[in-house]
Structure 1
Amino acid sequence: MVKITAEDAQKWLIEEIAQRLGVDPSEVPPDQYFDELDLDSTAALIIAGEMEKWLGFELGTTALWYHPTIEALAAHIAEESEKRTAAA
């Protein structure tokens, strides 16, 4: 299993969200709340599914609730990746 850094996760999230919104990645602020990004629930579910495929592990159903910004979720993903890599 490859260790994912917060920077890797943040870059991935920004690029995916930008693509869904049809904007340049520079227009997606990492500290903005997900519910302020104009993503509908279908797009959010698609991104979550794609992210889990990319990560190689499942995120908890409350991950976006407890980590409501790109920055916060990216840090959480890095922590989870660190735990899983250490345990492997």
Structure 2
Amino acid sequence: MALIPAVVDQVAPVPVLAADGIADGRGLAAAMALGAAGAWIGTRFLASIEAPIHPRYRDRILTAKGDGHRIRDCFQRRLARRPTP
């Protein structure tokens, strides 16, 4: 979140989407207060019934704590996060 104002200033008038760690309305409001035009919210929507994911993965997302994640070097040699219960 700390970089949002700097990025917004640097690329204006291009709209900026904030990402990473935004999971509710408070996070979205904070990002927009810092100048973002919106937010990229990904993992939060994986918990919806419409998301085509395995039920066990959905359960892990729903029971995960905010600080419970592991960073893995797996998909195409890039770091990826996954929730942990």
Q: TM-score, normalised on structure 1? A: 0.24
Structure number with the bigger relative contact order (C-alpha 8 A, sep ≥ 6) is 1
**Bigger fraction of residues in helix:** 1
Tell which structure's C-alpha radius of gyration is larger.
2
Q: TM-score, normalised on structure 2? A: 0.25
